[in-house]
């Protein structure tokens, strides 16, 4: 806390009057002259309301004190003492509160000052670091260089402006395309993806440059996929008997025979299309 705040509190504390006997110049009782060695204490007791003397202006300093009078004196003394203590306690509490507020205000000011200083230091450090940084070592600091990593791609168009090995991140997953094994993030590795930069396409069955999702004739056999029983097989497009075998390869077009069984390989038809064998019985 600042020295002025401490001085103000000490001056205020000194005014509490804790202890000591105050000598009064006036005389409350006519029978207690100022020459009486006890006149100051007697006047103080009267001033504080501890005693009212024995008559209107008499103290009767040489009279004996009865037990009853002593009880009154003690009670009056306790009341005055209690009031003084309460007043002093209130003053002390006010001073403590003032002290706490002053200390807290000083601490808050110091914290704010420290934070402001730390912010300025951080800003200066960042400025110095930025001004001195030259990622591509071309003699132009990054603060003025338009291509910090020197990869030929301007920083504004470079997904990795300080990484000379990367500049593009198609799927924006934080991994540059050069290191990413799935550039478009479609779940198909680039090596197996016919369109590694297009997340909507990965296959091109007829290799016509149009992905299967957009191509209306995936196998390029001239039959639209919607009418093609085998849209990915350029050698087949019909399956008359619906047996899963295309008509071009089916050995029995009108009878379903997915197993394509053919015991008699001397004829082109499968067993399902050949007439049943006839048995000739010779007569003797």
Select the more confidently predicted residue: 192 or 8. Answer: 192
Kindly report the number of other CB atoms within 10 A of residue 228's CB atom.
21
Kindly report the number of other CB atoms within 10 A of residue 157's CB atom.
10
Residue partners of 154: CB distance under 8 A and separation at least 6: 146, 147
User: Comparing C-alpha atoms, which of 222, 232, 240 is closest to residue 251?
Assistant: 240
247 close to 253: Cβ distance less than 8 angstroms: yes
Question: How many alpha carbons lie under 13 Å from residue 187 in its C-beta half-sphere?
Answer: 1
Task: Please give the Cα distance from 13 to 7 (Å, whole number).
Answer: 10
The reported pTM is 0.48
Q: Does residue 193 carry a pLDDT above 60?
A: yes
Percent of the chain at pLDDT > 90 equals 48
What pLDDT shows up at residue 264?
Answer: 83
Judged by average pLDDT, the poorest of 1-5, 62-66, 105-109, 175-179 is 1-5
Residue spans per domain, the chain: 3-120, 133-165
What pLDDT shows up at residue 27?
Answer: 55
What pLDDT shows up at residue 70?
Answer: 75
Question: At 8, is the pLDDT very low, low, confident or very high (cuts 50, 70, 90)?
Answer: very low
Judged by average pLDDT, the poorest of 43-47, 127-131, 142-146, 182-186 is 127-131
Cα distances (angstroms) measured from residue 177 to each of 86, 158, 170, 204: 81, 12, 7, 22
Average pLDDT over residues 110-117: 92
| Structural Rg of the chain based on CA atoms | 56
Question: At 21, is the pLDDT very low, low, confident or very high (cuts 50, 70, 90)?
Answer: very low
Kindly report the number of other CB atoms within 10 A of residue 41's CB atom.
15
Question: At 278, is the pLDDT very low, low, confident or very high (cuts 50, 70, 90)?
Answer: low
What pLDDT shows up at residue 253?
Answer: 92
Select the more confidently predicted residue: 78 or 228. Answer: 228
Judged by average pLDDT, the poorest of 4-13, 34-43, 139-148, 193-202 is 4-13
User: Comparing C-alpha atoms, which of 235, 234, 200, 199 is closest to residue 217?
Assistant: 234
60 close to 53: Cβ distance less than 8 angstroms: yes
Judged by average pLDDT, the poorest of 34-38, 112-116, 233-237, 280-284 is 280-284
184 close to 193: Cβ distance less than 8 angstroms: yes
Question: At 67, is the pLDDT very low, low, confident or very high (cuts 50, 70, 90)?
Answer: confident
Residue partners of 270: CB distance under 8 A and separation at least 6: 251, 252, 257, 260, 261, 262
Average pLDDT over residues 214-240: 97
What pLDDT shows up at residue 279?
Answer: 53
Question: What is the CA angle 99-101-104, rounded to 5?
Answer: 105
Average pLDDT over residues 175-204: 97
Question: At 281, is the pLDDT very low, low, confident or very high (cuts 50, 70, 90)?
Answer: low
What pLDDT shows up at residue 149?
Answer: 95
């Amino acid at each position: 806390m600042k020295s002025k705040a401490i001085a103000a509190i000490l001056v205020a504390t000194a005014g509490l009057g804790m202890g000591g006997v105050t000598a009064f110049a006036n005389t409350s009782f006519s029978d207690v002259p100022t020459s009486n060695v006890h006149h100051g204490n007697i006047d103080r007791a009267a001033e504080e309301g501890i005693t009212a003397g024995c008559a209107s202006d008499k103290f009767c300093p040489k009279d004996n004190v009865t037990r009853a009078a002593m009880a009154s004196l003690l009670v009056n003394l306790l009341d005055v003492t209690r009031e003084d203590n309460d007043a002093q306690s209130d003053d002390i509490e006010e001073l403590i509160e003032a002290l706490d507020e002053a200390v807290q205000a000083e601490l808050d000011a110091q914290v704010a000052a420290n934070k402001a200083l730390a912010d300025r230091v951080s800003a200066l450090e960042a400025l110095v670091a930025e001004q001195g940084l030259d990622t591509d070592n071309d003699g132009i600091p990054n603060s003025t260089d338009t291509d910090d990593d020197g990869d030929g791609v301007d920083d504004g168009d470079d997904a990795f402006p300080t990484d000379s090995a990367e500049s593009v991140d198609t799927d924006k997953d934080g991994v540059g395309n050069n290191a990413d094994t799935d550039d478009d993030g479609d779940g198909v590795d680039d090596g197996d993806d016919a369109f590694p930069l297009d997340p909507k396409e990965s296959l091109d069955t007829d290799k016509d440059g149009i992905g299967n999702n957009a191509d209306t004739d995936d196998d390029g056999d001239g039959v639209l996929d919607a009418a093609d029983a085998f849209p990915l097989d350029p050698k087949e497009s019909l399956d008359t008997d619906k047996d899963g075998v295309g008509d071009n390869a089916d050995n029995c077009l009108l009878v379903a025979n997915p197993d394509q069984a053919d015991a008699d390989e001397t004829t082109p038809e499968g067993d399902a299309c050949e007439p049943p064998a006839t048995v000739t019985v010779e007569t003797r």
